[in-house]
Structure 1
Amino acid sequence: MSPPVPRIEKVQHSVAPLAEACLGYLIQHPEELLAFMQHAGLDAAALQSAVGSPGLQRGLIDYFAANEPILLAFCANAAMTPEDFMRVWYKLNPAG
């Protein structure tokens, strides 16, 4: 059994901690990490060099927002509501 994803505090105001937690979730679930990498067109080296970049942060949040099962699992593990997650997504995508 893998350890729980760290709880996210005040995530509605910051993209970086949420994206970091999303990446942590994917690292704990290799099959999901592979699916994200395939979706984003990243290999391991490209993913590693992109860690912390605004583009990867946005891509991680977009990926989770578009994938309800992984979004719900992530939110349950992070003690976060899907609504709080989607508030951060909306800040990145105000036009919807």
Structure 2
Amino acid sequence: MIKSAPLTSRALGELCLHFLAENPPQLAEFMTMTGYSPDGLRQAAGKPGLDRGLIDYFAASEPLLLALCANNGLRPDDFMRVWARLNPAG
């Protein structure tokens, strides 16, 4: 079922983090790109900065974004609306 309720950046960030937690190689790539250590990532969990970074990371990779959306019954357009709210300049 496709979810149609507006997503919040917090809810989407949580979905992104859970997706990465289930995909260790992708999580390692995210941590390498962002400089997060395991402890740093745990401390940042639930904070707006991490949510924004996760959303940006997924938005930059169409295959990753599509996999996240398919696994969670989300429309890619809804994901990108959240990203656009966080990045009004594009």
Question: Which category describes the TM-score, using the shorter chain as reference length?
Answer: over 0.9
1:32-91 deviation per Cα after TM superposition (whole angstroms, max 9, x unaligned): 111111111111011010001111010000000001111011011011111110000000
**1:74 paired residue number:** 68
- Inter-CA distance 65–28: structure 2 relative to 1 (3 Å threshold): same
Asked whether the equivalents of residues 13 and 54 of structure 2 are also in contact (C-alpha less than 8 Å), the reply is: yes
**2:26 paired residue number:** 32
The yes-or-no answer on 1:49 pairing with 2:43 is: yes
TM-score of the pair, normalised by structure 2 = 0.92
Structure 2: unaligned runs, 5 residues or longer: none
Percentage of matched positions with identical amino acids: 51
Asked whether the equivalents of residues 8 and 17 of structure 1 are also in contact (C-alpha less than 8 Å), the reply is: no
Aligned residues: 89
Q: Alignment RMSD, CA only? A: 1.5
